[in-house]
């Protein structure tokens, strides 16, 4: 009798193998043969899921997005109502939430590497342009929602331009991800997290009972 194959387990096996190949050799070299060898599968088994390397590359990107989305949703469930937390805790929780987009461990480093390689390919290959644009728009929309929520809980300084701050924070996340993947010896995970926390701190109101410079010098 033919052996039963769990499609979801096979999918996870292929995704993990695909990510390892991308991190080691780059997305462009993640051929069907290379991923099949990494996953210790017959290439015919892989062709059951993918017709071409282009299909495989889109699958890699979509898998990365699905993984990040699941973790973000788990974060939202753990945080619950952000407004019930003290202001410093709101900022800490927000930093932890956004840190899911940064390469702070092996898993997230693989995801950011896939993201960077895919967007590099999308610059010259229109077949990937739609997914690349949706990813960029999704990151900006996520950051905007986070900042809007902090405004609603009165955790940010009044008068901030949320449109500008969305672009600044999105650019910061993109820049940290790029540098940490390309130059890990120069930018450690701890420094990435500290930079993100410092940026959010600069946007926030002073802690209760803290005098501003203008108050002290008046």
154: left (phi over 0), alpha (psi -120 to 50) or beta: left
Q: How is residue 47 written in tokens?
A: 């062709």
Question: 53 pLDDT exceeds 50?
Answer: yes
CA torsion 2-6-7-13 (nearest 10°) is -110
Question: 206 pLDDT exceeds 50?
Answer: yes
Question: 213 pLDDT exceeds 50?
Answer: no
CA torsion 108-124-46-43 (nearest 10°) is -110
Question: What pLDDT does 4 receive?
Answer: 57
Per cent of the chain over pLDDT 70 is: 92
The whole-model pTM stands at 0.84
Minimal CA–CA distance to 14: which of 27, 40, 25?
40
Question: What pLDDT does 1 receive?
Answer: 37
Q: How is residue 43 written in tokens?
A: 């290439």
Question: What pLDDT does 210 receive?
Answer: 47
Non-local CB neighbours of 69 within 8 Å, separated by 6+ positions = none
131 vs 50, which has greater pLDDT? Answer: 131
* Mean pLDDT within 55-84: 86
Burial class of residue 95 (count of CB atoms within 10 Å of its CB; 0-12, 13-18, 19+)? middle
Tell me the pLDDT of the chain averaged across its residues.
87
Question: 168 pLDDT exceeds 80?
Answer: yes
The CB density around residue 103, as the number of other CB atoms within 10 Å, is 25
* Mean pLDDT within 146-175: 95
Using 50, 70 and 90 to split pLDDT, how confident is the model at 133? very high
Q: How is residue 202 written in tokens?
A: 């600069």
H, E, C per residue of the chain: CCCCCCHHHHHHHHHHHHHHHHHHHCHHHCCHHHHHHHHCCCHHHHHCCCCCHHHHHHHHHHHHHHHHHHHHHHHHHHHCCHHHCCHHHHHHHHHHHHHHHCCCCHHHHHHHHHHHHHHHHHCCCHHHHHHHHHHHHHHHHHHHHHHHHHHHCCCECCCCCHHHHHHHHHHHHHHHHHHHHHCCCCCCHHHHHHHHHHHHHHHECCCCCCCCHHHHHC
The CB density around residue 120, as the number of other CB atoms within 10 Å, is 15
């Amino acid at each position: 009798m033919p052996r039963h194959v769990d499609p979801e387990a096979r999918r996870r096996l292929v995704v993990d193998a695909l990510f390892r190949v991308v991190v080691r050799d780059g997305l462009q070299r993640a051929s069907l043969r290379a991923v099949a060898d990494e996953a210790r599968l017959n290439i015919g088994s892989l062709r059951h899921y993918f017709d071409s390397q282009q299909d495989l590359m889109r699958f890699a990107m979509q898998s990365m997005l699905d993984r990040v989305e699941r973790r973000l949703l788990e974060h939202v469930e753990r945080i619950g109502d952000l407004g019930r937390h003290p202001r410093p805790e709101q900022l800490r929780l927000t930093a932890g939430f956004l840190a899911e987009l940064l390469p702070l461990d092996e898993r997230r480093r693989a995801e950011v590497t896939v993201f960077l390689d895919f967007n590099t390919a999308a610059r010259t290959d229109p077949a990937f342009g739609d997914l690349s644009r949706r990813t960029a728009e999704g990151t900006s929309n996520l950051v905007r929602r986070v900042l809007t929520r902090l405004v609603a809980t009165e955790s940010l300084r009044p008068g901030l331009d949320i449109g500008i701050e969305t672009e600044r924070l999105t650019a910061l996340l993109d820049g940290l991800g790029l540098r940490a993947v390309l130059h890990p010896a120069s930018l450690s995970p701890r420094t990435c997290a500290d930079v993100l926390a410092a940026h959010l701190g600069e946007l926030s109101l002073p802690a209760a009972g803290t005098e501003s410079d203008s108050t002290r010098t008046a």
